[in-house]
Amino acid sequence: MNDSSCRSAATAALAPTTSVSSHILVPLALLSLYLVWGSTYLAIRVGLAGYPPFLMAALRFIGAGVALYAFLRWRGMAAPTRTQWINSTLTGIMLLGLGNGLVCYAEQTVASGLAAVAIASMPLFAGLFGGLYGHWPRRAEAVGLGIGFAGVVLLNLGGGLSGSPLGALALIASAALWAFGSMWSKRRNMPPAAMNTAAQMLSSGVVLLVFSLCVGERWPVAPPVSATLAILYLALAGSLVGFSAYLYLLNTVRPALATSYAYVNPPVAVLIGALFGGETVHPSDLLAMAVILGGVALIALNRRRDS
């Protein structure tokens, strides 16, 4: 099976039936992406009440990866080649293993809403790392980078993250690794979109499980039911439903609209954390969120004009 037929199989496997109008599906996909991915930060915090961070992330990605991989193989999609497995594993380690694993680690001491705000700085690192491949930021992008990183500094100096230096460092490292891994993978031989995600979840889940055992994490004796349900939610809703909605949007609407979750998830996460998690948000944290999102928006708008 060649690359084009693999992509067709991936789209057919995850795209909704054409009998339903896109006027209905696009808003539903956007709503699910905004709410589901925005809610995963609080779900991580709930899961941490019963599971250690890296074990929790491992269970999430192994479960979702096995389900998606089995489904795609059942639909007839070819398995990744040896080279594709290697590239997917390295990318998965950066994006899911370290990227998401560090978020889980940070949320032991950082509110879920603030974690989402910090991760919103990812596009800033992506713009910065673009210079490594010869894509140095233009003047407007450089201004956006400066504004965004000023917001990151403000967030770390404010009330929410100042009391957790290790958590703050983990979140910044997570955003930077996600950005670098995303750029690195674009220049590698990767499986088609859906199979690539399945391979990344499987490989990163195994790596996280091994790392969890190496650092002394153990399976909890009697985890709360809410913590186990949170992991199921992360695997099913966060990884499978959220990714399916994102893939559908990428194939249906403009990239600027498909990636608009980067602007919506932080305030959604802050609101959900305050309403259902009892989290407190300082005024300086809200100001930092506005500054970070302003910088990211300036970069995105400039790139949209050039596209």
Alpha-carbon distance of 59 to 100, in angstroms, equals 12
- Which range scores top for mean pLDDT: 12-21, 172-181, 246-255, 295-304? 172-181
Instruction: Give residue 156's pLDDT.
Output: 67
Mean local confidence (pLDDT), 154-167: 71
- All residues at 6 or more sequence positions from 296 whose CB lies less than 8 Å from its CB, including other chains: 120, 121, 123, 124, 144, 148, 262, 263
Q: What is the pLDDT of residue 17?
A: 46
**Per-residue pLDDT at 215 exceeds 90:** yes
Res 47: pLDDT: 96
Phi/psi-derived region of residue 298, left when phi > 0, alpha when psi is between -120 and 50, beta in every other case: alpha
pLDDT one-digit tens code per residue, 22-44 = 778 888 888 888 889 889 999 99
For residue 3, the model assigns a pLDDT of 45
pLDDT above 90 as % of the chain: 36
- Of the chain, the percentage scoring pLDDT greater than 70 comes to 82
What H or E segment, with its residue span, contains residue 70? helix 53-74
- CB 177, CB 90: distance < 8 Å: no
CA gap 32, 119 in Å, rounded? 19
First-to-final CA distance of the chain: 32
Q: Say which residue, 20 or 70, is predicted with more confidence.
A: 70
The predicted-structure confidence for 101-156, as pLDDT tens digits, reads as follows: 999 999 998 888 888 877 777 777 877 777 776 666 677 777 877 887 787 777 76
Question: What ranges do the domains of the chain cover?
Answer: 22-306
- Give me the pLDDT at residue 234, please: 94
Rounded CA separation 255/235 (Å): 25
- CA distances to 54, 55, 60, 209, 212 from 215, rounded to whole Å, are 9, 10, 18, 10, 5
Residue 289: predicted pLDDT: 78
pLDDT of residue 223: 92
Structure tokens at 256: 């600027």
What's the mean pLDDT when you consider all of the chain?
82
How many whole angstroms separate alpha carbon 85 and alpha carbon 101? 20
Is the predicted pLDDT of residue 9 greater than 60, yes or no? no
The tokens describing 147, both together, are 């504004």
- Which range (104-113, 179-188, 206-215, 298-307) has the least confidence? 298-307
pTM given for the model: 0.79
User: What mean pLDDT do residues 1-5 have?
Assistant: 46
